[in-house]
Amino acid sequence: MVQSRTHTCGQLRINNVGETVTITGWYDNMRKVSKNLGFLILRDFYGVTQVVVETEEMMAKLLGVNNESTLSITGTVRERSSKNMQLPTGEIEVVPEEIVVLGRCIYNELPFEVNRSREADEAVRLKYRYLDLRNPAVKDKIVLRSKIVAEIRQRMTAHDFLEITTPILTCSSPEGARDYLVPSRNHPGKFYALPQAPQQFKQLLMTSGFDRYFQIAPCFRDEDARADRSPGEFYQLDMEMAFATQEDVFGVIEEVLPPVFAKYGKYQTASKTPFERISYNDAMEKYGTDKPDLRIDLLVQDATDCMDGCGFAPFEGAVVKAIVVDGFTATRKVIDKICLDVEVQSGKKVYWFKVDEKGELTGGIAKFLQDRKEQVVSALGLKNGDFVGVSAGKKAEAQKTAGVLRRLLGNASEKHMKKECYEFCWIVDFPMYEIGEESGELEFCHNPFSMPQGGMDALLNKNPLDIYAYQYDLVCNGVELSSGAVRNHDPEIMVKAFQLVGLDEEDVKAKFPAMYNAFCYGAPPHAGIAPGVDRMVMLIAGEESIREIIPFPMNKTAQDVMMGAPSEVDERQLRDVHIKIDLPKEDE
């Protein structure tokens, strides 16, 4: 059957009155008034149109037809007597002369009402995602995503970047997360890996003589889900520039992204360019995180000296951080809830006290501070009515706990949170190395391919923990949009950088043969960045969960419940790729 339509369900207007038209779409609902009168709503991708069924013959065509069946309706357009100016098609209706069922929905009951699918349980929504996506409110987020990606492509091309696709099947590379491995049929016992990022390939493009590269790149990481991270796969605006510095990258991003946020964003205001730049150390000291939400005007203060020796056990020998909130009138119940949420999110307890209207310290840990009240008030700049939240522990622990507390206090205080805006900043000067929490040994702090500040001299003569890298993060509203760096393009500096973490020259050659060899043939200085597309769209749309802006997302445990992935495969398929399954027995 060849089916066509003359108009979409969002197209007809008052000037179409009198025309004979054919519209197609989903049977959204019908208000049946009598056996020969009903008001049917037909919905397609573009909108809805009211169809007025006025004869028993036409009503019989719909007998036994369930909601969400697809229909073709041919009829005459007429002016509505009772107009709905909230709809683009609200001035007209179609009187049918022919109704054809194109695709029958065989179920009397749906898993959820399509137009209210966002109220359904997420697991049910993901299982029936094709129904969920029929909801205009859900569909519009995917349409928005398409428009944003198209806009980004246009703007990158306008800045003379070439879109180049890089391989999906490649080798395993240490990018900081677990690889997805693909067994090789033709090379028994060997595996491909899905790329965690096109890092090496884009650097190789720079050594190949390409000046500006980008792609909307799929990336694959076997990691757990979060509200702002989808497990399994995600997309990023991957870019790299030859003969470029950190400033060149900042300049491009500050020209490309703000107009996209301004054009499509839910909020009307955003940071002016150039974006504020905050060193990693300052970010941890002032905000307790390397992805600060600058919509919150609260700052973390050091309270170690003024609270040292106060007799409160958690403060003994600890770094103490404090956040002062003026005008915070929350109830004890709200305060306890915030403290509990901080402990859940950070794994560490927080404490508090207040300054009452008489200037006395009250509540929480106030009794431990009475003998040093003036010192505490002076050190923290306290005034009557202030609330003080406190964290303690090793320096990094106290900072990170204070960062979680700052965010929750900001969200709970309208006075200190500008919600409807986009606040961008650059976090710069990341440490090149750190001591691994699990290994206790020296490790790369971020990207191992970054250029150390000071080059070879710094690697030879400085304490590794005092070396900073030309690494930077772009942060918006407390969400890390991307990481980037000026790359280490010198093979001698590259080898030395890896030697500090226990890998010698032969290890580097073995792990990164293409990149090492390419650098030996004369590589240009180059730099790049890769803002996450999913996170950008989530922020622009004002959504809390990244799954709302992904067409077919996995659930929190990296399962596609709609398709049934991951799934078992048959023995023949396993033999083809030389794999034998050896699962532990249930009683082990």
What is the CA angle 485-489-491, rounded to 5?
135
How do strand 37-44 and strand 162-163 relate by DSSP bridges? unpaired
Which residues lie across from 94 on neighbouring strands? 51, 77
Provide the b/e sequence for 363-402 (b: ≥16 CB within 10 Å): ebbbebbeebeeebbebbebeeebbbbbbbbeeebbbbbb
Residues of the chain with CATH 3.30.930.10: 139-272+425-430+469-489+524-549
> Residues 283, 292: contact at Cβ < 8 Å?
yes
Distance of CA 160 to the CA centre of its chain: 27
Q: What pLDDT, on a 0 to 100 scale, did the predictor assign at position 496?
A: 96
Characterise 192 by phi-psi region: left (phi > 0), alpha (psi -120 to 50), beta (else). Answer: beta
Residue identified by tokens 């106030």 is 366
Locate 142 and state its tokens: 């995917």
Torsion angle, CA of 187/193/199/204, rounded to 10 degrees?
Answer: 10
Alpha-carbon span 156 to 163, nearest angstrom: 9
Beta-carbon count within 10 A of 182 CB: 14
Locate 68 and state its tokens: 């969400």
Fold exhibited by the domain 14-103: OB fold (Dihydrolipoamide Acetyltransferase, E2P) (2.40.50)
CA-CA distances (angstroms) from residue 41 to 7, 94, 123, 407? 15, 10, 28, 45
Q: What pLDDT, on a 0 to 100 scale, did the predictor assign at position 523?
A: 97
Q: What pLDDT, on a 0 to 100 scale, did the predictor assign at position 174?
A: 62
Locate 78 and state its tokens: 């007429």
Q: What pLDDT, on a 0 to 100 scale, did the predictor assign at position 227?
A: 67
Residues of the chain with CATH 2.40.50.140: 14-103
Reference 401, options 517, 514, 303; nearest CA is 303
Q: What pLDDT, on a 0 to 100 scale, did the predictor assign at position 2?
A: 46
Q: What is the pLDDT along the chain (588 residues), one digit of tens a residue?
A: 346 899 999 999 999 999 999 999 999 999 999 989 999 999 999 999 999 999 999 999 999 999 999 999 999 999 999 999 999 999 999 999 999 999 999 999 999 999 999 999 999 999 999 999 999 999 999 999 999 999 999 999 999 999 999 999 998 876 567 899 999 999 999 999 999 999 999 999 999 999 999 999 999 999 887 767 788 899 999 999 999 999 999 999 999 999 999 999 999 888 999 999 999 999 999 999 999 999 999 999 999 999 999 999 999 999 999 999 998 888 999 999 999 999 999 999 999 999 999 999 999 999 999 999 999 999 999 999 999 999 999 999 999 999 999 999 999 988 999 989 999 999 999 999 999 888 889 999 888 889 999 999 999 999 999 999 999 999 999 999 999 999 999 999 999 999 999 999 999 998 889 999 999 999 999 999 999 999 999 999 999 899 999 999 999 899 999 999 999 999 999 999 999 998 887 765
For the chain, what is the mean pLDDT?
A: 94
Alpha-carbon span 78 to 75, nearest angstrom: 10
Alpha-carbon span 464 to 436, nearest angstrom: 13
Q: What pLDDT, on a 0 to 100 scale, did the predictor assign at position 584?
A: 85
CATH number of the domain at 296-417, please? 3.30.1360.30
What is the CA angle 466-425-337, rounded to 5?
90
Q: Is omega for the bond preceding 198 within 30 degrees of 0, making it cis?
A: no
Question: In sequence order, what DSSP letters do the residues of 26-60 get, joined into one string?
Answer: EEEEEEEEETTEEEEEEEETTEEEEEEE-SHHHHH
Contacts of 472 (CB under 8 A, 6+ apart): 246, 249, 250, 426, 427, 428, 430, 483, 484, 485, 529
Q: Which CATH number fits domain 139-272+425-430+469-489+524-549: 3.30.930.10, 2.30.30.180, 3.30.420.40, 2.40.30.10?
A: 3.30.930.10
The amino acid occupying position 348 is K
Reference 297, options 332, 324, 275; nearest CA is 324
pTM, whole model, 2 decimals? Answer: 0.91
Task: Please report, in angstroms and rounded to a whole number, the separation of the first and last CA atoms in the chain.
Answer: 58
Kindly state the DSSP code that residue 390 receives in the 8-state scheme.
E
CA-CA distances (angstroms) from residue 216 to 13, 231, 262? 38, 18, 20
